[in-house]
Amino acid sequence: MNLIKSAVFVYDTVTLPGYYLANKPWANKSGSPGHKCTTKVSITPSTNAETGLPEVTIVRTGDQPVSHLDSYGTIDSAMRDVFGRFSSKPCLGYREVFFEEEIIAPESGKRLKKKILAPAYKWFTFAQVDKLVDDCSRGILSLDLAQSGDRVVIFSETRMEWLISFHALLRLNCPVVTLYANLGSDGIVHVLNQTEATVAIVSSEVINKLTELRGELKYLRHLILLESKGCIPIDTSQLNSQYNIVPWSTLLSTGGSSSPHLKPKEVSTENSNALIMYTSGSTGVPKGVVISHKNFLTAVRAMNTILDQYHDKNGVHIGYLPLAHIYECVVEHCIIMMGLQVGYSSPFTLTNNSPGIKSGVDGDLTVLKPRLLCGVPLILDRIRKEVTKLVEAKGGLAAKMFHFGLDYKNYWMSKGFETPLMDKLVFSRTLSALGGKLVAIVSGGAPLSVETQYFARACFSCSLIVGYSATEVCAAGTCMDLGDMTLGNVGFPLFGIKIRLIPWEEAGYSPDDKPYPRGEIVIGGDTVAMGYYKNEEESESAFKVENGIRWFYTGDIGEMLPDGKLRIIDRRKDLVKLQFGEYISLGKVESGLSGNPLVESICVYGDGLHNYTIALIVPNSQSLKLLASKISPDLADESFEDLCDNPKVNQVFVDEIGRFSMNIGLNKYEIPRKIKLCKEEWTPDSGLVTAAMKIRRNELKKFYARDIELMYSDNVVDQNQNLRKI
């Protein structure tokens, strides 16, 4: 390896002068020598007139770029302009399903659906999409399914029909209620009953969930069924007697043959409700965030100023994250309103190795070759762990070369250089896995670890844009700028967004803190939602109007860096005080330990009655079996469930987590002293995680109450002893 490093050093020395002039690194990356960041912010310390406490406000300055959307007040009016402006260009696309079969996975015994997909995407122009939206809206009116003002639910995975339905309903001035496709039964019943929706647009993938719940849904009367051609047929016979089921194809044909003069009774305004978007419900039942047309369009305009830097006139975005989440919904509208293409996918068909496609069939990334990929930390962390696991399995020179390549690429990328030779020699497989044309990965929805940032931007040779926001502010909060190579922050406020840091005195966070101001993050501006649907108490707590500006109190703790960038350091609900007064950020510990290949899911727990934390961990099955085989060859054939219950395995697992914890810089109070290896699968249906796969801390505490009690007694592995040995 030393010989290779020496050869690389000689190569760099010889080629650097010419490459420096050819590559012009000073113009490429923020943070590189000679580069000047063009973003400017205003940082204003002040004292709150009511509380007398210090606070600091951060606002992006300068003029927001002019957009063709600026003159429109509603989403529908803006989209009509977009449909006409780019009428002949491709807009939305999908891959047709030729065949689908169901198999039993040999490792887990689970039923899996495997698809054979068309080798290319089928595209619809902007004009064709406009016609489909019109047919859908007039079909709803013709069949008397809904009228202006009626709330209509979309309960489906991400697909082209989702977006068409969304705009058809807005064209009718019908507020759209969103449901995650993988939401648990309690959440489905809560949303449908709270909104009193009589109509739901439902995909064939999830309609069976309604079959099981039909006796609990008080108001639902009509189902518009999104068919899936080529897939295994769905039996709806149990629903026929209770609901009026209208196939999507029937709806479109009815609308297409209806009178073109058929119009809604009322038209929307900028302050009309466009969306009731339900959060995933990590702390209780899902809350419906009421979003106006003005909220949504302001967010799209703000985010466009960032995303526009990453696309050319033929840019393609791959849509696979839930459209029921504000993040994907706003990003797709940014792309479409720039006149660019969205090709639809799913987590089950995304890559060549995805579980939902037959062997030999190319994944959607390979076929589509997108320029922009949206991701969430959960997915990016899993990619890092899987790649790292494969590299470590090879061992020897290959593993050393990979880790050297990571450090090498990050070093030169931070100085504004590209590394084509290293891309070809070390990272060619990871680059091709995402289509080979990726310019940027946008990460949102939760904090992304520095380790994953470092890994992803080198492996995929692209910009990694990390942002921070919430459903309550329409995904428009802060975002890193073009080419920003710094780590561990979430960038500057977007145009039109105000960020305040206010004190949280109990935990010792203050805007007067040195060296950096700290405090609870409060977001203000026209993207701040109208409140929570039928939930005045929560609305009054989280949303406030001060000096004519609407603000959302996030509950997150931020730190402002000298240049005005924001760093997320804590969350109020995740902070616990241990027995001797130490504050522990459970979210920070979980985020750090999630990077260990042994960890599939994790929940860290602590309280004021004890002086240490504990952890509930669902192990990665393959990594756990590998660990067990190293302990003893006799354990190699043990089942996953038996390994989770094995005291020897638990002991070694605790040791490994202890070592890993210290390597990533956790202090002794943060390291879980005792661990329960959970053999149960944490799914939205079990109620232990949300539809966005975020842990539901209170539900996990109830479910594992007996195990938590045992871990706070003396008969479970105590890591204090283990830490002294490490």
* Contact predicate 616/704, CB 8 Å: yes
pLDDT digits (tens, 9 = 90+) for 556-595: 999 999 999 999 988 888 888 887 777 888 988 998 899 8
- Rounded mean pLDDT of 507-523? 94
pLDDT band per the 50, 70, 90 thresholds, residue 26: low
Give CA–CA dist 70/61, Å, rounded.
Answer: 18
How high is the pLDDT of residue 677?
97
How high is the pLDDT of residue 265?
84
Positive/negative CA dihedral, 539, 540, 541, 546: positive
pLDDT digits (tens, 9 = 90+) for 82-103: 999 999 999 999 999 999 888 8
- Rounded mean pLDDT of 684-693? 83
Length of the chain: 726
pLDDT digits (tens, 9 = 90+) for 603-644: 999 988 888 899 999 999 989 999 999 999 888 888 999 999
Strands (E), 19-66: 41-47, 54-60
pLDDT band per the 50, 70, 90 thresholds, residue 451: confident
75-344 against 376-572: fold identical: yes
Which helix (H) or strand (E) element contains residue 341? strand 341-344
pLDDT band per the 50, 70, 90 thresholds, residue 256: very high
Check pLDDT > 80 for residue 212: yes
- Rounded mean pLDDT of 652-664? 94
How high is the pLDDT of residue 170?
97
pLDDT band per the 50, 70, 90 thresholds, residue 21: low
CATH number of 376-572: 3.40.50.12780
Exposed e or buried b per residue across 190-202, where buried means at least 16 C-beta atoms within 10 angstroms of its C-beta: bbbebbebbbbbb
How high is the pLDDT of residue 107?
62
Which own/partner pairs from 396-401 qualify as long-range (CB within 8 Å, at least 24 positions apart)? 397/1, 400/1, 401/1, 401/4, 401/426
Check pLDDT > 50 for residue 35: no
449 φ/ψ angles, rounded to the nearest 5 degrees: -65, 150
How high is the pLDDT of residue 75?
97
194: helix, coil or strand? helix
Q: Which of 86-100, 240-254, 534-548, 709-723 has the lowest mean pLDDT?
A: 709-723
What residue segments make up the domains of the chain, in order of their start?
75-344, 376-572, 578-725
The number of angstroms, rounded, from the C-alpha of 330 to the middle of its chain's C-alpha atoms is: 12
Positive/negative CA dihedral, 375, 381, 387, 390: negative
The number of angstroms, rounded, from the C-alpha of 157 to the middle of its chain's C-alpha atoms is: 15
Which residues, 6+ apart, have CB-to-CB distance to 55 below 8 Å? Answer: 45, 46, 47, 48, 500, 501, 502, 503, 511, 519
How high is the pLDDT of residue 719?
44
DSSP assignment letter at 41: E
Q: Which of 233-237, 359-363, 577-581, 647-651 has the lowest mean pLDDT?
A: 577-581
350: helix, coil or strand? coil
178: helix, coil or strand? strand
* Contact predicate 157/322, CB 8 Å: yes
How high is the pLDDT of residue 679?
94
Give CA–CA dist 165/178, Å, rounded.
Answer: 11
Superfamily of structural domain 75-344: ANL, N-terminal domain (3.40.50.12780)
- Rounded mean pLDDT of 258-262? 83
Query: Omega before 515 cis (within 30°)?
Result: yes
Decide the pairing of beta strands 531-532 and 566-571: unpaired
Check pLDDT > 50 for residue 538: yes
- Which residue's entry shows tokens 């302009």? 81
601: helix, coil or strand? strand
Q: Which of 295-299, 553-557, 656-660, 664-668 has the lowest mean pLDDT?
A: 664-668
Give CA–CA dist 494/638, Å, rounded.
Answer: 52
pLDDT digits (tens, 9 = 90+) for 403-448: 888 998 888 887 777 788 888 888 888 888 888 888 888 998 777 8
How high is the pLDDT of residue 108?
61
How high is the pLDDT of residue 720?
43
Burial class (CB in 10 A: 0-12, 13-18, 19+), 386: middle
Please give, one letter per residue, the 3-state secondary structure of 101-166: EEEECCCCCCEEEEEEECCCCEEEEHHHHHHHHHHHHHHHHHCCCCCCCCCEEEECCCCHHHHHHH
How high is the pLDDT of residue 438?
87
CATH class of the structural domain 578-725: alpha beta
Give CA–CA dist 313/311, Å, rounded.
Answer: 7
Give CA–CA dist 71/520, Å, rounded.
Answer: 35
Give CA–CA dist 327/589, Å, rounded.
Answer: 25
Which residues, 6+ apart, have CB-to-CB distance to 174 below 8 Å? Answer: 140, 146, 147, 148, 149, 150, 151, 152
Burial class (CB in 10 A: 0-12, 13-18, 19+), 668: middle
How high is the pLDDT of residue 169?
98
How high is the pLDDT of residue 545?
95
What is the value of pTM for the model shown?
0.88
Exposed e or buried b per residue across 310-342, where buried means at least 16 C-beta atoms within 10 angstroms of its C-beta: bbeeebbbbbbbbbbbbbbbbbbbbbbbbbbbb
How high is the pLDDT of residue 573?
83
pLDDT digits (tens, 9 = 90+) for 149-198: 999 999 999 999 999 999 999 999 999 999 999 888 889 999 999 999 99
Total Cβ atoms within 10 A of residue 685: 13
- Rounded mean pLDDT of 274-285? 81
Residue percentage of the chain with pLDDT more than 90: 55
Assigned token pair, 262: 């058929």
How high is the pLDDT of residue 325?
93
How high is the pLDDT of residue 134?
96
How high is the pLDDT of residue 34?
38
How high is the pLDDT of residue 311?
67
Residue percentage of the chain with pLDDT more than 70: 94
Q: Could you report how far apart the first and last alpha carbons of the chain are, in Å? A: 28
